[in-house]
Amino acid sequence: MLGLTGGIAAYKSAELCRLLIKDGFDVRVVMTQAASRFITPATMQALSGQLVHTDLWDETIPNAMGHIDLSRDRDLIVVAPASADFIGKLAGGLADDLLSTLCMARECPLLVAPAMNRQMWESPATRRNIDRIVEDGVIVLGPASGDQACGETGMGRMLEPEELYAEILASMQPKLLNGVRVLITAGPTFEPIDAVRGITNRSSGRMGYAVAQAALEAGAQVTLVSGTTALAPPSKARLVRVVTAEEMLKAVEAEVANSDVFIAVAAVADYRVAKPNSQKMKKSDQTLSLELVPVADILATVSNRPNPPFCVGFAAESHNLDTFAEEKRKKKKLPLLAANLAQTAIGAADNELILFDDDGRHPLPRGAKLAQARGLIRHLAKLYKRDRKTALKAVRP
């Protein structure tokens, strides 16, 4: 159920409805009278393909208890935009119109996307109301900061339709890792040659960030140790920024004792320059030789701890994928390893992972990296649950 309240951001809800319908969702729209001042019910009816309901006493509702039943067959209610007034109703338990009544009588999760002037968003009353509905289990999406219709700039702008769509999909993922503490590395490392040059690789960080997002969707508490990328990290992840492999190792060692699962997605340099120059080296016609020394293997360091977390590795190979991936998994004593061909995955928006565990190989169909990450997390959760049960049996007298 898509609910619209009064606000200029209601125009974005038309695009959100279109995105949901395009992906096969059955969308029922309910609008407040104020919302109908900004966008017409006819528009939302055309996009959703269903009658739009606006009135608590609407005679088109087929059931006498329609003000309750309209939400009973829904998997999710999303109110976007959610005005300050409507959020206040939710916080106070008021139900004086159709949408607020349906939200009160729901049997499914409720997501709200606030949209209001920056001063309204920052007011003590709104802050209290947001805190109250969050305590009641309502999921608040946004808001964002930016230009507002009133001409001011600040917090209170509703998230864009694509962002809301992604959040809706995320909210519907099963909570397979609820409360599990997950530590993830992502992105490339950079090993300096001099003050401006260095050794790095083409990793964009997309896969690691997708795994972090998928773990969050599954209910995990995520710490993301990231090399330098151009990506915005998942908003609910705890981010630790690093540059070099040595910095990444130190960051991981500082966090791993408080982690249940460690997923090493980062493309860590295998070598570093033995003696990097603190100043920029001037170009010359002479041949330059660099002495390279191996860097510490972060994944092996973690997997060889006395009581390691559940460790997941990644392998990007250019050939002999299955052979090299399984060799790496066994050498590092990993319960799970995800592998792909480097030439088709690094820097790309999609991927094709093959998961290797003690039961064999499990290919995931090629798709967007977030879809691949969700598949990985589902498989990981199954193995992690089995691993915990085995460990529990081992310590029982």
Specify the CATH number for the domain of residue 325: 3.40.50.10300
- Tell me the HSE value of 280 on the side-chain side, using a 13 A CA sphere: 4
Distance, in Å, from the CA atom of 5 to the CA atom of 85, rounded to the nearest integer, reads 9
**191 and 96 both lie in a single domain:** no
Cβ within 8 Å of residue 194, ≥6 positions away: 276, 277, 278, 279, 280, 281
pLDDT digits (tens, 9 = 90+) for 107-134: 999 999 999 999 999 999 999 999 999 9
Domain assignment of residue 367, yes or no: yes
**204 and 264 both lie in a single domain:** yes
pLDDT digits (tens, 9 = 90+) for 182-207: 999 999 999 999 999 999 998 999 99
State yes or no: pLDDT of 62 exceeds 80.
Answer: no
Q: What's the confidence (pLDDT) of residue 178?
A: 93
Under the banding of pLDDT at 50, 70 and 90, the label for residue 241 is: very high
pLDDT digits (tens, 9 = 90+) for 65-119: 667 788 888 999 999 999 999 999 999 999 999 999 999 999 999 999 999 999 9
Contacts 24+ apart (CB under 8 A), 281-289: 281/193, 281/194, 281/197
Which of 103, 108, 150, 311 is an active site residue? 150
State yes or no: pLDDT of 382 exceeds 70.
Answer: yes
**54 and 128 both lie in a single domain:** yes
Q: What's the confidence (pLDDT) of residue 69?
A: 80
Domain closes at, from 142, 171, 200: 171
Domain closes at, from 147, 171, 195: 171
Under the banding of pLDDT at 50, 70 and 90, the label for residue 148 is: confident
**275 and 339 both lie in a single domain:** yes
Q: What's the confidence (pLDDT) of residue 244?
A: 97
Strand partners, 361: 356
State yes or no: pLDDT of 250 exceeds 70.
Answer: yes
Q: What's the confidence (pLDDT) of residue 254?
A: 97
Distance, in Å, from the CA atom of 247 to the CA atom of 234, rounded to the nearest integer, reads 21
- Dihedral of CA atoms 346, 352, 357, 360 in degrees, nearest 10, equals -140
Specify the CATH number for the domain of residue 54: 3.40.50.1950
Domain assignment of residue 124, yes or no: yes
**220 and 350 both lie in a single domain:** yes
State yes or no: pLDDT of 350 exceeds 80.
Answer: no
Domain assignment of residue 176, yes or no: no
Asked whether 147 and 118 are in contact (CB, 8 A), the reply is: no
* Mean pLDDT of all residues in 261-266: 97
Strand partners, 367: 351
Q: What's the confidence (pLDDT) of residue 151?
A: 79
Domain that holds residue 191: 181-395
Q: What's the confidence (pLDDT) of residue 19?
A: 96
Domain assignment of residue 108, yes or no: yes
State yes or no: pLDDT of 392 exceeds 60.
Answer: no
Q: What's the confidence (pLDDT) of residue 72?
A: 87
**231 and 312 both lie in a single domain:** yes
Between 69 and 308, residue with greater pLDDT: 308
Domain assignment of residue 37, yes or no: yes
Q: What's the confidence (pLDDT) of residue 147?
A: 79
pLDDT digits (tens, 9 = 90+) for 312-348: 999 988 888 899 999 999 999 999 999 998 766 565 6
**236 and 218 both lie in a single domain:** yes
Domain assignment of residue 292, yes or no: yes
**347 and 203 both lie in a single domain:** yes
**196 and 119 both lie in a single domain:** no
Domain closes at, from 151, 171, 191: 171
**91 and 189 both lie in a single domain:** no
State yes or no: pLDDT of 179 exceeds 80.
Answer: yes
pLDDT digits (tens, 9 = 90+) for 220-232: 999 999 999 999 9
* Domains: count for the chain: 2
* Furthest CA-CA distance within the chain: 88
Q: What's the confidence (pLDDT) of residue 29?
A: 97
Domain assignment of residue 94, yes or no: yes
Between 213 and 63, residue with greater pLDDT: 213
**188 and 133 both lie in a single domain:** no
150 labelled catalytic: yes
**100 and 9 both lie in a single domain:** yes
Q: What's the confidence (pLDDT) of residue 391?
A: 60
What share of the chain has pLDDT > 70, as a percent?
Answer: 94
pTM for the whole structure: 0.80
What share of the chain has pLDDT > 90, as a percent?
Answer: 78
